[in-house]
Structure 1
Amino acid sequence: MNPDRTLPWDWYGGRIPDNAVVDATAYIETSFSFYCFRSRLPRGAEIGRGASTYLGTMFDVGPQGHVKLGDYALVHGARIICDSEILIGDYALISWNVVLMDTYRLPLSLPDRRRELERLSTRQPGVSDAGVPARPIH
Structure 2
Amino acid sequence: MSFFDKVPFNKFLGMKITRVEAGCVEMYLPMKEELIGNYFMGILHGGVISAMLDVTGGAMALVGAFRKLEHLSLDERIKRLAKISTIDLRVDYLRPGRGNAFYVVATLLRSGNKVAVTRSEFYNDQHELCAVGTGTYLCG
* Structure in which a larger fraction of residues adopt helix: 2
* Structure in which a larger fraction of residues adopt strand: 2
Smaller-chain TM-score range?
A: under 0.3
Per the normalisation by structure 2, the TM-score is 0.26
Greater RCO (CA < 8 Å, at least 6 residues apart): 2
Per the normalisation by structure 1, the TM-score is 0.26
